[in-house]
């Protein structure tokens, strides 16, 4: 995984790589926030989004299935409740609704996973 250089981002250690199932997600607690972390093992990529599904305000996105869509293979997660899907890159809702979720940068060093939280 390439290390992204981003300004004003604090990298917070959240868990070990083995804590997140391959090609699936898990929820981590960062400060008082719930963040969904995804181990896209098939592509060797990691993503993070808010854990809250904006549709019915449920803390469950980390339990959703991940996958990709379209010619560009846009990575996405599907909420387990009503299968609304969200881009893991932009956080945009891909199933035609006006929702937007927050995404976070992730970096992996050795077996340690860090999430970047913007400093305000």
Partner 1 sequence: MSQQGSPRVVVIGNGMVGYKFCEKLIAKSTSFNITVFGEEPRAAYDRVHLSEYFNGKSAEDLTMASENWYRENGIDLYLGNAVLEIDRASKTIHSRKGLKLAYDYLVLATGSSAFVPDIPGVEKDGVFVYRTIEDLELIQGYATTAKTGAVLGGGLLGLEAAKALIDLGLEETHVVEFAPRLMPRQIDSAASNMLQAKLEGLGLKLHMQKATSRISGEDKIEALEFADETSLEVDMLVISAGIRPRDELAKLAGLETGTRGGIVVNSKMQTSDESIFAIGECALYDGMIYGLVAPGYEMAEVVATYLCAGERAFTGYDMSTKLKLIGVDVASFGDPFVTEPDSRSIVFEDTHKGVYKRINISNDGKYLLGGVLIGDADAYNMLLQTVNNKIVLPPNPEDLVLGARGGEAAVGAGVSSLPDDALICSCESVTKGDICGAVNTLDVTTVDGMKKCNKAGTGCGGCVPMVKDLINDTLKENGMYIKNNVCEHFDFSRQELFDLLKLNNIKTYDEALDVFGKGDGCEACKPTVASILASLWNDVIVKQQTIQDSNDRYLANIQKGGTYSVVPRIPGGEITPDKLIVIGQVAKKYNLYTKITGGQRIDLFGAHLSDLPDIWEELIDAGFESGHAYGKALRTVKSCVGSTWCRFGLHDSVSFAIEVEERYRGIRAPHKIKGGVSGCVRECAEAQSKDFGIIATEKGWNLYVAGNGGSKPQHAQLLATDIDKETVVKYLDRFLMFYIKTADSLTRTATWLNKMEGGMTYLKNVIINDSLGINEQLEAEMQTLINNYSCEWKEVVQNPELRKRFSHFVNAPKEKDPSVQFDTMREQVKAKEW
Binding site for ligand FES (CB under 6 A): 53, 55-56, 58, 79, 81-82, 84
Near partner 1 by CB under 8 A: residue from 9, 11, 60, 91: 60
Q: Give min distance, CB of 65 to partner 1, in A.
A: 4
In this complex, which beta carbon is closest to ligand FES, that of residue 28 or of residue 79?
79
3 state DSSP class of 9: strand
Site string for partner 1, 8-37 (x = CB under 8 A): ------xx---xxxxxx-xxxx----x--x
What is 39-66 written as a DSSP string?
A: EEGGGTEEEEEESEETTTTEE-GGGSEE
| Separation CA 35–CA 27 (nearest Å) | 6
> Which residue in the block uniquely carries the two structure tokens 């609704």?
97
């Amino acid at each position: 995984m390439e290390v992204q250089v981003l300004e004003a981002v604090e990298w917070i250690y959240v868990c070990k790589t083995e804590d997140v199932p391959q090609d699936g997600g898990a929820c981590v607690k960062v400060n008082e926030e719930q963040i969904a972390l995804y181990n896209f093992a098939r592509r060797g990529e990691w993503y993070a989004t808010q854990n809250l599904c904006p549709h019915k305000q449920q803390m469950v996105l980390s339990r959703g299935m991940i996958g990709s869509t379209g010619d560009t293979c846009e990575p996405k997660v599907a909420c387990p409740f009503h299968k609304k899907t969200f881009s893991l890159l932009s956080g945009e809702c891909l199933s035609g609704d006006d929702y937007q979720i927050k995404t976070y940068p992730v970096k992996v060093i050795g077996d340690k996973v860090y999430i970047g939280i913007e400093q305000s």
